[in-house]
Amino acid sequence: MALIPFDDRDGSIWMDGEIVPWRDAKAHTLSHGLHYASLVFEGERVYAGKIFKGREHTVRLRQSSKLLDFDLPIPDDAVDAAKQAVIEANNIVDGYVRAYCWRGSEMMAISAQQTTAHLAIAAWEWPSYFDPETKMKGITLDIASWKRPSPESAPVHAKAAGLYMICTLSKHEAERKGFQDALMMDYRGYVAEATGANVFFVDDAGTLHTPIADCFLNGITRQSVISMAKSMQIEVVERHIKPDELGAMRECFLTGTAAEVTPVSRIGDYQFTPGEICRKMVEGYSALVHA
């Protein structure tokens, strides 16, 4: 399949208060967000023309920007309205929305108090992150050499561009080795998350175990799956998980806006068999987002 660059597509993007042709949505190359990673973003799914938990994503986008010491330039209601306008302008029925806010080019230095906060929203058709056949078989994960940083080292609860640098490096390394993604540990050596999704494990008793989100994003999909599992009377335990505990787990799956619920068949040398719990989570989440 030919690669279609994201700067050369048909359609429209909402940028700084107006809908503009896709190819005209540009930022200056000396924007602070590009050079110093002062950019935050959200990835959101559209199902049947409606964003799943759109307000929760808007709220988190604002929280992320404040953690980086700036703010969205418009109220939450206006952000939600702009997202809907973009969906309609691009005739998106089932797809993906990317809302992002960054510091502009008024200052090119570490200090950036006088920069303007820019906001843009794009949307495009996007099927499941992993194709259905691969998803049900379970994907494979390498164990990354990079670790999620301490809350004392970075604004770990912001969905910020700079925090994804080590995710890109980890995923590239995993793909070179034949894996589809990578599992990252945290700064203490506990299991953290994949490069762009949270992780869950299932033990022999059918209990779900997932890492405490104390140094990485408490994903909106993660929260939805925990709530859904509890409604199914499935016990969920949030705790610190040591890597050597993976051998005692029988199932594993990832959760995220892009990944949705994706079973895992292998992490490094550890093998998993997607089974009843994975099926319940995949089917339950599909029903939830299409409700």
Catalytic residues: 159
DSSP β-bridge partners for residue 13: 20
What type of residue sits at position 281?
M
10 within 8 A of 4, measured Cβ to Cβ: no
First to last CA, the chain: 33
3-state secondary structure of 161: helix
Neighbouring-strand partners of residue 181? 141
Angstrom CA distances, 150 to 62, 144, 156, 173, 243, stand at 22, 16, 7, 22, 18
How many C-beta neighbours within 10 Å does residue 206 have? 14
